């Protein structure tokens, strides 16, 4: 993502930065994404023409809507494996373990707005995906992470190049929808694929606040609505440190 940001002024809208290997990868809230064999690691630079014309007041919600569109673009080719969206920016699949259903992470994404002289000049999307990665029961991440290979009925390694092409085509389709201002369509589909709707959650926020309650809704601006002790609270899209279902 740092490479993409440094090259942003000289690349076209939709330029792809693909790495076979990385020494380190960033996750949400400056966490480190664990790099393992069998992962797909992609960064894309977006430079929509309408970015400069979006008012400062509208910019946050338009970026949240873009975040939804890009999440759907990533989800499209992997939904057949049973993958759904975990608010705000993770891709998970339900698995039975110790006689209970748990959600394990397949992929995560980051969306960064890039500024120059107090003006937004582009967006950098980065995501990592466990495609043919193997997690054994002895692995420290076994209880929280899995891969497409582990969820595949065929049980054979997935062709990375084919998946890569499908992901780019899907991302392009939803990015085009966003540029065409089809925000209602994007939100409706994004909401439908949220796996934690109706579930009891524990939410850790960046300011240290911890909330527990039922996820009742995701709003058109991307925020979460949670019911705690008969009180409805709104959790903004980018204030969350971690979300866990109980």
Q: What is the pLDDT along the chain (246 residues), one digit of tens a residue?
A: 889 999 999 999 999 998 777 776 655 555 555 678 899 999 999 999 989 889 999 999 999 999 999 999 999 999 999 999 999 999 999 887 777 888 999 999 999 999 988 899 999 999 999 999 999 999 999 999 999 999 998 889 999 999 999 999 999 999 999 999 999 999 999 999 999 999 999 999 889 989 999 999 999 999 999 999 879 999 998 888 889 887
Contacts of 147 (CB under 8 A, 6+ apart): 38, 106, 130, 131, 132, 133, 134, 135
In b/e form, how buried is each residue of 41-73, taking b as 16+ CB within 10 angstroms? bbbbbbbbeebeeeeeeeebbbbbbbbbbbbbb
Q: Could you tell me which of 67, 220, 188 has the C-alpha nearest to residue 234?
A: 220
Q: How far is CA 222 from CA 25, 184, 214, 235, in A?
A: 25, 12, 17, 9
**pTM score of the predicted model:** 0.92
Whether omega for the bond prior to residue 88 falls within 30 degrees of 0, making it cis, is: yes
DSSP 95-162: EEETTEEEEEEEEEEEEEEEEETTEEEEEEEEEEEESS----TTSTTTTTB--HHHH-SS-S---HHH
Residue 199 neighbours by CB under 8 Å, 6+ apart: 214, 215, 245, 246
């Amino acid at each position: 993502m740092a490479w993409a940001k440094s090259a942003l002024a000289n690349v076209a809208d939709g330029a792809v930065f693909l790495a076979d290997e990385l020494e380190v990868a960033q996750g949400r809230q400056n966490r480190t994404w664990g790099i393992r064999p069998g992962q797909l690691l992609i960064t894309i630079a977006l430079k929509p023409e309408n970015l400069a014309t979006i008012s400062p007041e509208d910019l946050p919600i338009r970026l949240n809507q873009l975040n939804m569109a890009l999440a759907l673009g990533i989800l499209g080719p992997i939904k057949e494996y049973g993958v759904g969206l975990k608010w705000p920016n993770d891709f998970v699949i339900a698995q039975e373990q110790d006689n209970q259903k748990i959600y394990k992470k397949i992929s995560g994404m980051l969306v960064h707005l890039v500024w120059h002289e107090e003006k937004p000049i582009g967006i950098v999307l980065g995501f990592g995906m466990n495609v043919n990665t193997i997690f054994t029961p002895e692995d420290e991440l076994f209880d929280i992470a899995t891969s497409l290979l582990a969820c595949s009925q065929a049980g054979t390694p997935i062709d990375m190049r084919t998946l890569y092409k499908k992901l780019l085509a899907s991302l392009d389709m939803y990015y085009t929808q966003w540029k065409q201002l089809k925000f209602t369509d994007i939100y409706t589909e994004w909401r439908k694929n949220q796996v934690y709707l109706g579930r009891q959650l524990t939410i850790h926020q960046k300011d240290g606040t911890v909330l527990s309650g039922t996820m009742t809704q995701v709003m058109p601006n991307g925020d979460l609505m949670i019911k705690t002790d008969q009180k409805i609270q709104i959790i903004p899209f980018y204030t969350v440190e971690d979300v866990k279902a109980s």
